[in-house]
Amino acid sequence: MDMEALKQKIEGLDIPQSLKDELFEKLSKEKDLTEEMVDEIIDEVVNAYRKALVEPYEAVGIVAAQSIGEPGTQMSLPYEEKIIIKEGEFIKPVEIGKLVDEMIERFGFEKIGNSEVCDLPIDIYALSLDQDEKVHWKRIISCIRHKHNGKLIKIKTKSGREITATPYHSFVIRKDNKIIPVKGSELKIGDRIPVVKHIPANCVEAINISDYVSGNYVVDNINNKIAPKINGKSIPNNIKLDYDFGYFIGIYLAEGSVTKYFVSISNVDELILNKIRAFADKLGLNYGEYDNNNGFAESHDIRIYSSTLAEFLSNFGTSSNTKKIAEFVFGANKEFVRGLIRGYFDGDGNVNADRKVIRVTSNSKELIDGIAILLARFNIFSIKTKTKNQFVLIIPHRYAKKFHEEINFSVEKKKSELERLVSSLNDDKTYDSIDMIPSIGDALTKLGEKVDYPKVILKKFERKQKIGRATLQRHLRRIEELAVKKGVNILALKEYWLLKKAVESDVIWDEIVKIEEISCDKKYVYDISVEGLETFTTFDGVLTHNTMRTFHYAGVAEINVTLGLPRMIEIVDARKEPSTPIMTIYLKEEYKDNREKAEEIAKEIESLTLGSIAESISIDLWTQSIKVELDENRLADRGLTIDDVIEAIKKKLKVKIDVDGTTLYLKIKTPSIKALRKRIPKIKNIQLKGIPGIERVLVKKEGGEYVLYTQGSNLREVFKIDGVDTTRTITNNIIEIQEVLGIEAARNAIINEMRNTLEQQGLEVDIRHLMLVADIMTADGEVKPIGRHGVAGEKGSVLARAAFEETVKHLYAAAERGDVDKLKGVIENVIVGKPIYLGTGCVELTIDREYEEGKNMEE
C-alpha cells in the first residue's frame, strides 16, 4: 500500500499522536497488506483505544486518595530515597527529591489537589516491572511532589534491602500469579515484594575525563590529552571503558586512596601489583613503590603521580568510608563492569568453599549498594547485611556458578577456592530461602495432574504457596519431559506459561523482615508516574508502584445525606419528607451479581425529565414558540424515541408540536413572551421515564453484590419494579414506610434511623431510650411528632399542655369546655405548689397521729 495514503489515513484518526506514529511505523513495515487488512487493523486499534478510554464518571483501577485531597493519604517517597533512572545512555541512581525538584524548577508545575505535578517534556526512563515479570526501561511521564504529614514507613527485606515510603505509597506483590499493587500500610512481615535481579543496560563505551574533573585543566582534543594547567603530566582525555580500566578502578575501590597529586594503591599480591604497573605504563604515568609496615600487616604501595587521575578517581570516593560507584559506571558496558567487579573482589572479596559463601566487606554502605546493582547486570543477586560497623555483601552459593562464569578472580588463591566451591555444588540441591516465588496458586497442581506427576509433591507446594525458583525450574523440566513421553501438549496450557514466566522473571520476591514507622522532617514527599504498570525501581533495587493517574470519580459518587442533630430533629418531628430522602435498594438473587442487570434496573428507576435529557430548551421569538432540541443518541441510551417525548409532552400540556428533525417547536394558542416563559418550568419537569421523585441513582458494589443508592425516595413505586428485593430495600422516609409497610415497620424505622444517626456521631445511647420514643410516637397507629402537634399537644392534663407551648390557647379551650385537671402529673403539681406524685409524694395513706402518739392506747 502506498505510504502517503497510509499516512493520511492514519493522520485523520481520532487517536493520540504517539499512537498514530506507532501505528504508522508498524504498518509501514508490513509490505504485503491489502487495503482491507489495513483498514481492519486500524479499526481494531481505534476500537481498542476507545475501549481503554475512561469516562469522567468511571472508577478505574485503584482509587487513590489525592482525588479527595485528604491529608495523610498520600503515597510517596521521601527526598533521600534514590531511584534508578536512565537519561540518554547514562544509567544513574538519583535522589528522587532532587530529580523531581529539578524537573519542577525547569518545566514548572500544575497544581492538582494538594500535589504539584510536572509532566515531563523530555525523555527520562525508569526501571519498571511489567506484567510479564520482566524489567524494562519505561518513560517517566510526570514528576509529582506534595507536602506530607510526617509519618513514613521503613521496610527491610531478607536480602538486606531497604526502602522508606509514606504508608500510602503502593508496592506491588504477587497474587494469584499476577502482579498487583498494594498499599504500603497493608504490607506485613512475611509478604514478598519484588527486587530486581537483572538490569538491562545500554552501553557507554567511552568517557571524557574532562567531564569528571573540575579543576584547572587544559584539554587537547586533537591529541586526545588532558593535563593540569600548571606543570602537570597529561593523560588521555577520551578513555575507552574496557576491562583493564575497570579492573584498575575495582582495585582502587578496594585498596586505593588519593591525595591531590597521586593515587596510592596498597596490596601484596604480585599479580595485582603488576596489573597496576601495566595500567600506569599504558597511561604513560610515573609511579613510585614503597614498602610499608606501619599497620598490622606488611604491605606494598604503588603511587601513581597524576593529579588529573587523582581527581578523576575521587569520583569514586577518597577514603574507605566514602568509597562509592561513580554514576557513569551504571551505564557502562559489560566488560568494564566485569573488570571493575573482579578488581574489587580481587582486592576486598573473599570466598570460602566450606561455608559456601562469596563475600565482600566495606566501610561504605554506598559502595556495597552500588556493587549490588552492578552484580544485577550479570543476573547475580546479592544479599546485604551489616556487622558492627561494616557493610557486607554476600553472594549466595546459588549464584556462585554464575559468578565463576561471569566474573571470577585473578588472584590464584581466591580463584582455586571459588573453583572448589563451584565443583562442590550440586545443582539440584541448592536451597535459596530468599529467591522464592510466592502465590503460585494451583497452577503447578493443575499442570502436574495433566502428566500424572506425583501428587505428594504437587500438593506440598500448593499448600505452602511458595516455591524456590530452582526447585520450580527442576520440577517444570521434569514435567516437560513427562509430557513429551506421554504425548500431552502442555504448551497449550496457560498454567505452563504462568509458571514459565515466574521462573524466568527478572525479579526476586524478597521477603519483608522488618517494618517500622519513622518520622521525617522534610517539607515534601515525591513520586513519579511511569508508563505501563507504573512501577519503578529504587537504588536498592526495590520495585514500587505509583497510582497517581489511575483514579477518576470527578466527585459525582456522592449522595448527600443529612446527619447529626438536624437528622435527629427530623426524625422526632415526623416530617412528611426528610430534607435528603435516600433509598438503599437491594436486588433479588438473580440480579444482584450482574452489573448489566443492576444498571438496567437503575435506569428504570432513575427519573428522567425533559429538562434533564434535552440538549437545550429555549423561547424562539421568531416562531413564537418553545424550541426543544433533543439528542437522539442520548434518548436511545435511555430507550426513548422522539415520538415518546412528543407523546409525553402532549399528555401534560395543550400544545401543538412541530417537528423538525430532532428539534421540537411547541406552539400555544395565544403566544406572548410571558405566556411562553410561564410554561418553561412545566416543560422541564415533564416526566419521560423512571420513578417520579428519584433524582439520581448510584450503583455501588458492596459485600459482593450490586446495591443501588438513590437520591429521592418513592418506596411504593420502587417495590413495583421487577428485580427489587422488597424484603431488604429501605428508605429513610419514615412516613413513607408507615404508608407502605405499616406502623410497626415505621416504629422499627424510627429506632434504626435514630440509632444509626447517633452511632455515626460516636454517641452511645441505650436502645431502650430510642424504643421508648419510637413507641410513644407510633402508639396511636400513625407516626406522630414529638411536639405541640403531636405527643406533647395530646397530653391529658390541661396545665401540662399549657405549661409546654401555646398556653393561652389551651387555657381558653379548657375553660370553654369546662375541663377538669386531676393534678396527677409533675408539671401540674409544680404549678399549684403541691408535692409531685413520685417517691414519698405518691403515698396516699395518712397516719392516725393520735394513735401513733399513744393517746388512744387505753381504749
557 binds other proteins (CB under 8 A): yes
Nearest distance from residue 557's CB to other proteins, in Å?
Answer: 6
Residue number with CB closer to other proteins (347 or 712): 712
Q: In a 10 Å sphere around its CB, with 0-12 CB exposed, 13-18 middle and 19+ buried, how is residue 509 labelled?
A: buried
Alpha-helical (H) ranges within 467-531 are 469-486, 494-503
Residue number with CB closer to other proteins (147 or 303): 147
Residue number with CB closer to other proteins (296 or 622): 622
70 binds other proteins (CB under 8 A): yes
Residue number with CB closer to other proteins (707 or 741): 707
757 binds other proteins (CB under 8 A): no
Stretch in the footprint of other proteins (CB under 8 A) among 53-61, 275-283, 355-363, 398-406: 53-61
Nearest to 589 by CA among 728, 397, 458: 728
Using CA atoms, how far apart are residues 493 and 446, in angstroms rounded to an integer?
9
Residue number with CB closer to other proteins (340 or 683): 683
185 binds other proteins (CB under 8 A): yes
Cell of 408: 571470577
568 binds other proteins (CB under 8 A): no
Stretch in the footprint of other proteins (CB under 8 A) among 158-166, 317-325, 622-630, 809-817: 622-630
Long-range CB contact pairs, 64-71, < 8 A, 24+: 64/168, 64/547, 64/548, 64/550, 64/551, 65/168, 66/112, 66/113, 66/114, 66/115, 66/146, 66/548, 66/551, 67/113, 67/551, 67/552, 67/553, 67/555, 69/113, 69/114, 71/114, 71/149
- Total binding residues toward other proteins, as defined by CB under 8 A: 57
807 binds other proteins (CB under 8 A): no
760 binds other proteins (CB under 8 A): yes
Using CA atoms, how far apart are residues 467 and 460, in angstroms rounded to an integer?
10
Nearest to 266 by CA among 298, 234, 242: 298
Binding other proteins by CB under 8 A: which of 611, 723, 787, 793?
611
Binding other proteins by CB under 8 A: which of 477, 656, 701, 716?
701
Nearest distance from residue 155's CB to other proteins, in Å?
Answer: 17
Residue number with CB closer to other proteins (701 or 834): 701
Using CA atoms, how far apart are residues 822 and 833, in angstroms rounded to an integer?
14
Helix/strand/coil for 129: strand
Residue 311 near residue 215 (C-beta atoms within 8 A): yes
DSSP secondary structure letter of residue 470: H
3-state secondary structure 765-800: CCHHHHHHHHHHHHCCCCCCCCCCCCCHHHCCCHHH
Nearest distance from residue 542's CB to other proteins, in Å?
Answer: 23
Nearest to 395 by CA among 411, 410, 378, 412: 378
Can you tell me which residue has the cell 588532558?
Answer: 226
Residue number with CB closer to other proteins (596 or 852): 596
Nearest distance from residue 625's CB to other proteins, in Å?
Answer: 11
702 binds other proteins (CB under 8 A): yes
Stretch in the footprint of other proteins (CB under 8 A) among 215-223, 329-337, 393-401, 614-622: 614-622
Binding other proteins by CB under 8 A: which of 55, 428, 816, 859?
55
Residue 706 near residue 700 (C-beta atoms within 8 A): yes
627 binds other proteins (CB under 8 A): yes
CB atoms within 10 A of CB 722: 9
List beta partners, residue 516: 154
Residue number with CB closer to other proteins (575 or 684): 684
Binding other proteins by CB under 8 A: which of 315, 361, 580, 761?
761
560 binds other proteins (CB under 8 A): no
Nearest distance from residue 733's CB to other proteins, in Å?
Answer: 21
Binding other proteins by CB under 8 A: which of 759, 780, 805, 850?
759
622 binds other proteins (CB under 8 A): yes
Q: In a 10 Å sphere around its CB, with 0-12 CB exposed, 13-18 middle and 19+ buried, how is residue 117 labelled?
A: buried
Nearest distance from residue 708's CB to other proteins, in Å?
Answer: 9
Residue number with CB closer to other proteins (496 or 709): 709
Using alpha carbons, list the distances in angstroms from residue 117 to 341, 527, 533: 39, 9, 19
Residue 532 near residue 130 (C-beta atoms within 8 A): yes
Residue 326 near residue 315 (C-beta atoms within 8 A): yes
Cell of 527: 513520586
Nearest to 171 by CA among 537, 498, 513: 537
63 binds other proteins (CB under 8 A): yes
Nearest distance from residue 512's CB to other proteins, in Å?
Answer: 18
Nearest distance from residue 612's CB to other proteins, in Å?
Answer: 5
621 binds other proteins (CB under 8 A): yes
Residue number with CB closer to other proteins (171 or 378): 171
Cell of 825: 402529673
Q: In a 10 Å sphere around its CB, with 0-12 CB exposed, 13-18 middle and 19+ buried, how is residue 534 labelled?
A: buried
Nearest distance from residue 593's CB to other proteins, in Å?
Answer: 13
Nearest distance from residue 468's CB to other proteins, in Å?
Answer: 34
68 binds other proteins (CB under 8 A): yes
Binding other proteins by CB under 8 A: which of 119, 162, 695, 717?
695
Binding other proteins by CB under 8 A: which of 43, 427, 620, 853?
620
Nearest distance from residue 170's CB to other proteins, in Å?
Answer: 14
182 binds other proteins (CB under 8 A): no
Please give the helix or strand (H or E) that residue 300 lies within, else none: strand 299-305
511 binds other proteins (CB under 8 A): no
- Residue ranges binding other proteins (CB under 8 A): 55, 57-59, 62-63, 65, 68, 70-73, 149, 185, 556-557, 595, 598-599, 602-603, 606, 608, 611-614, 616-623, 627, 637-638, 677, 680, 684, 695, 697-704, 706, 759-764
